[in-house]
Amino acid sequence: MSADTPGAEDLQAEARSLAAAVLAALSAAAGTAELTAARAGLFGKGSPLAGLRRRLGSLPPADRPAAGRALSGALAEVEERYESRLAELRASERRGLLEAERLDLTELREPPPPGRLHVITQTQRRLEDVFCAMGYTVAEGPEIETEWHNFGALNFPPGHPARDMYDTLYVDHGAPGSTLLRTHTSPVQVRVMQGQSPPLFVVAPGRCYRQDTADATHMPVFHQIEGLVIDEDITLGDLAGAIETFTTAYFGPGFTSRLRPSYFPFTEPSAEFDVQRPDGTWLELGGCGMVHPSVLEVCGVDPERWSGFAFGFGIDRLAMLRYGIDDLRDLWTNDVRFLEQF
Ligand code: FA5
């Protein structure tokens, strides 16, 4: 038999058509998993295409080489196509994965709106600026205080009725009643006088605590700014002048202040300081007075040589006045729409 006998022709034609079907199937595979799973069935040992090899033996010997080459050629072509298709699918799957995992960093281009300081912090900083311009320095003291610094050294003997002016929150530490949350910033006066020598021109802003029921002008946690001036020949006139200078510098025109006689155990004489709003109403801002000689003495300052005045203003109330805030509780609800006005 020659190469063009029907047997050899048939086998070659069948090889071509099987190879064409395999090539089409390789192209149609949608992913690497599908492609690799189909490999054995398409051109592996048990596949119809590979099965043609077994039929080579039934051809006349003279036809076998050509038919064998045709069959090997067809197998080589599908194998080559398999590898290239596999590479193609791998690349496209990798692209898909990268696309799916891509982080869109362009969203970060818009910076978030900037935050702002709370109106109380702003008020405290402005007050510090005003007093620094008047020649004062800023001091600090602890919020958890000893009973002695908060009351004892300030001329409130144990059991003194003036202690009842403050609804004190005691801390369970040390002997009962020995440790408390400071009810005012006046203990910082004691610490400053004990730690520094006169002349002293100091303000001490900070948080205070009382068992006060929250209402429009009271909070159980609030802020005060304490002032202490100790020098030779300081008089009540200097105190009045300092308060007048402060009121004008901080509030500007349209606000006036007044001093009303009052009582604090650590100042003598003592006064309460009120400010009148442009609408004519008055708000109590704080207390003040000439530092009591016994307080000077307890703190190691010679009352024969030095005299001085002190004041303590409510920072939250100052903010109310300056910004026209009606209710202190609004400062604590943290409603951004309210806070971003300041
Ligand atoms: C004092 O605390 C004195 N230490 C002030 C002082 C200092 C007098 C130095 C003399 C010399 P008073 O209890 O009146 O005083 O409080 C002063 C101010 O703190 C008040 O006028 C008010 O503005 C503010 N304040 C007091 N309690 C509260 C509260 N619960 N909520 C908000 N502000 C308050």
C-alpha separations of 135 from 112, 114, 123, 201 in Å = 39, 33, 19, 7
| pLDDT tens digit sequence for 294-326 | 999 999 999 999 999 999 999 999 999 889 899
Q: How far, in Å, from the CA of 133 to the mean position of ligand 1?
A: 24
C-alpha separations of 85 from 18, 31, 34, 47, 302 in Å = 18, 9, 11, 19, 99
266 CB burial (10 A radius; 0-12, 13-18, 19+)? buried
Q: What integer pLDDT is reported at residue 251 of this predicted model?
A: 86
Q: How far, in Å, from the CA of 176 to the mean position of ligand 1?
A: 25
Q: How far, in Å, from the CA of 264 to the mean position of ligand 1?
A: 11
Number of H helices, E strands in the chain: 11, 9
Q: What is the mean pLDDT of residues 56-64?
A: 86
C-alpha separations of 237 from 74, 234, 289 in Å = 114, 8, 11
- Which of 151, 184, 211, 213 for a ligand 1 pocket mutation test, highest count of atoms within 8 Å of Cβ? 184
| pLDDT tens digit sequence for 229-286 | 999 999 999 999 999 899 888 888 778 889 999 999 999 999 999 988 778 888 889 9
Q: What integer pLDDT is reported at residue 175 of this predicted model?
A: 94
C-alpha separations of 196 from 10, 247, 306 in Å = 115, 28, 13
- Nearest-CA residue for atom 22 of ligand 1: 314
Q: What integer pLDDT is reported at residue 3 of this predicted model?
A: 43
pTM: 0.70
Q: What is the mean pLDDT of residues 174-181?
A: 93
**From the CB of 274, is ligand 1 less than 6 Å away?**
no
Q: How far, in Å, from the CA of 96 to the mean position of ligand 1?
A: 68
**Which of 49, 70, 52, 54 is closest to 4 using CA atoms?**
70
- Nearest-CA residue for atom 32 of ligand 1: 218
